[in-house]
Amino acid sequence: MTRIVFVIFSLATGVATYAGVAGIGGEDKQIANSIRSGSGGRVGYIGGVK
Amino acid sequence: MIEGLRYGWTNYQLYSPTHGYSWLTWTDGHLTHSRKTRDMPETGGHFAYKAPLNAAGRSFQMFEQYAARITYLEGELTWVPNLGDTTNVIEAIDPPYGYSVVIGGSETEFELTSYLDRAQTLAAFDVPDTFARASTVHGIQPFLPGAFHTALSKAGKWFAPLALFLGLAFLVTGAGNKITETLIMDTDRGGSVVFPLNRPDRLAEVRLTANVYNSWSWYDMELIHEESEETVAEFDGGIEYYEGRDSDGQWSEGSQTATFRFKPPAAGAYRLTIQTGDPQSARLPVRVEVRENVMLARYLFGLAIFFALCALSLWFRRARFEARRWGEDEDDDDD
């Protein structure tokens, strides 16, 4: 059981390290959507301003 | 009878030609084995909750005292008991062992008890285990975590520091490489900055800094691929910062920096144009900084917290088990 948990934890650490290096999930949504849409069109505001 | 509540148990007298007489006790699904001992306690004579009691070479803790009364009798015994016979008992524990001082009308006896594995014991007596599971923690029941929880705790102790170390390393080195930095003085007129991005598989970051104070500024930005002159993305964002003092003291809100992260669709040179995006926006010089190869520490920190909880899970389980043993747990309705 210990070996299995160690393997799972190793994999989780590896995935988290890769995600951190690749910046997965760190993209600004507005820019990512704009890049994906290909039009360069503005798709929304970031946050709110007083 | 303990604190006005009535509890029941069954004693079975055992005999061994080599070991003499002893008692097997069934209490709410728990099995214990007791025998009389001549090892008297070093001190004591009266009960004090959780007070130490040294006897039989062990350090016990006083657990409970109660009046034991015989309510049922069957078979042959080594003494002549009567229904209603009552003794006062002081129990002390050092799991998986217990020590009892049994004070009768004319004599005081001492008993050493050990907790038994229920499955093994019933199997030894060839009794099928069709009885209900124990719903309580017995006073001398040892804490025996399962293989899964033991493994989880052990692995957590190794991996929590590892994930924390990696997270801190990412925090220190994850700010990436500064590609360029420029100051745009007149954001109404707008400005631009050209920079190369060589790693489309990594995060790039645009950081805007303006000295806004109790105000806000808003910018329209455009990211253009230099070679193709194509607009890759249009986006906007603001910087806001407020501070003041009220009855609770000094407060502040917002930041004088705004960060935008993205993955460039391809390697190459890019131009970022920036301009005031709202007529009511504050007009202040804005510093634009572009970084590449930005890394995120959040996943590793999250994992470090999870691993730490895994490492501590055994401690929490043990604490809860002990609380249930001592009757100090409010929730005493599961295992």
Measured between beta carbons, which residues in chain B are less than 8 angstroms from residue A16?
163, 166, 299-300, 302-303
pLDDT band at B40 (very low <50, low <70, confident <90, very high): confident
Unique residue bearing structure tokens 């890019």 = B270
Helix (H) or strand (E) holding B192: strand B191-197
Give the residue with greater pLDDT, B190 vs B117: B117
Q: B78-111: per-residue pLDDT in tens?
A: 888 889 999 999 999 999 999 999 988 888 899 9
C-alpha distance from residue B224 to each of A45, B165, B196 (Å): 19, 38, 12
pLDDT band at B294 (very low <50, low <70, confident <90, very high): very high
Q: A18-50: per-residue pLDDT in tens?
A: 999 988 888 888 888 888 876 544 443 333 333
Give the residue with greater pLDDT, B105 vs B33: B33
Kindly provide the ipTM of the predicted complex, given to two decimals: 0.76
Amino acid at B312: L
* Relative orientation angle of helices B147-173 and B298-325, to the nearest 10 degrees: 150
For residue B153 the two structure tokens come to 């705790």
C-alpha distance from residue B179 to each of A22, A25, B82, B279, B322 (Å): 18, 22, 94, 31, 58
Measured between beta carbons, which residues in chain B are less than 8 angstroms from residue A50?
216, 240, 242
Residue B127 pLDDT > 90 = yes
Q: A2-17: per-residue pLDDT in tens?
A: 899 999 999 999 999 9
- Residue in chain A nearest B170 by alpha carbon: A20
Report the pLDDT averaged over residues B219-224.
Answer: 91
Instruction: Check CB contact under 8 Å for A20 and B240.
Output: no
Distance separating alpha carbons of residues B180 and B66, to the nearest angstrom: 80
H helix runs in chain B, sequence order: 118-124, 147-173, 298-325
> Residues B233, A31, B252, CA angle at the centre, nearest 5°?
130
Facing residue for A35 by CB, picked from B162, B265, B303 = B265
pLDDT computed for residue A43 by the predictor: 41
Give the number of other Cβ atoms within 10 Å of residue B231's Cβ: 17
pLDDT band at B330 (very low <50, low <70, confident <90, very high): low
Report the share of chain B in percent with pLDDT over 90.
Answer: 65
B236 three-state secondary structure: strand
Interface of A with B in 1-50 (CB under 8 A): 1-2, 4-6, 9-10, 12-13, 15-17, 19-28, 30-32, 34-35, 40-42, 45-47, 49-50
pLDDT computed for residue B335 by the predictor: 44
Q: What is the CA radius of gyration of chain B?
A: 37
Supply the pTM of this predicted model. 0.72
Question: Which one, of B88, B150, B92, B141, lies nearest residue B118 by Cα?
Answer: B141
Report the share of chain B in percent with pLDDT over 70.
Answer: 96
Facing residue for B262 by CB, picked from A9, A16, A27 = A27
